[in-house]
Amino acid sequence: MSEKRIVVVGGGFGGFYALKTLSELGVTKRHEVTLIDRSPRFAYLPSLPYLLSKKKTVEDLTEPFEKITKRLGAKFIQGEFVGISIRESTVVLGNGDRVPYDYLIIAVGATTEYYNIPGAEQTLASWRLEDYLRIQEELKKHEDKCRVCIAGGGLTGVEVAGELAEVLGGENVTIVEKMPYLMPTLNRPKASEIIEKFLSQKGVRIIKGNGVVEASSSHLKLEDSTTLDCDLVIWSLGVKAPSMAFDQPVKTVKRGWIAVKPNLQLQDYTNIYAVGDINHFALDSDCAMKMAEEAILQGKTAAKNIA
The answer for residues whose C-beta is within 8 angstroms of residue 60's C-beta and 6 or more apart is 47
Cα separation, 249 vs 59, in Å, equals 41
The answer for residues whose C-beta is within 8 angstroms of residue 189's C-beta and 6 or more apart is 181
Q: What are the structural domains, with CATH classification, of the chain?
A: 5-110+241-306 (3.50.50.60), 112-235 (3.50.50.60)
pLDDT of residue 255: 84
Question: Among candidates 74, 86, 63, which has minimal Cα distance to 12?
Answer: 63
pLDDT of residue 167: 95
In the predicted model, what is the mean pLDDT of the chain?
A: 96
Is residue 108 exposed (0-12), middle (13-18) or buried (19+ Cβ within 10 Å)?
buried
| DSSP secondary structure letters along 191-218 | HHHHHHHHHHHTT-EEEES--EEEEETT
- pLDDT tier at 121, thresholds 50, 70, 90: very high
Taking residues 219-223, report their average pLDDT.
99
Given a cut of 70, whether residue 144 has pLDDT beyond it is no
* Whether this model's pTM surpasses 0.75: yes
Taking residues 291-300, report their average pLDDT.
95
The answer for residues whose C-beta is within 8 angstroms of residue 178's C-beta and 6 or more apart is 209, 210, 211, 212, 223
Is residue 220 exposed (0-12), middle (13-18) or buried (19+ Cβ within 10 Å)?
buried
Cα separation, 193 vs 112, in Å, equals 26
pLDDT of residue 102: 98
pLDDT, one tens digit per residue, over 222-231 is: 999 999 999 9
The answer for residues whose C-beta is within 8 angstroms of residue 267's C-beta and 6 or more apart is 250, 251, 259, 260, 261
Q: The dihedral of CA 36, 42, 46, 50: what is its sign?
A: negative
Cα separation, 278 vs 295, in Å, equals 10
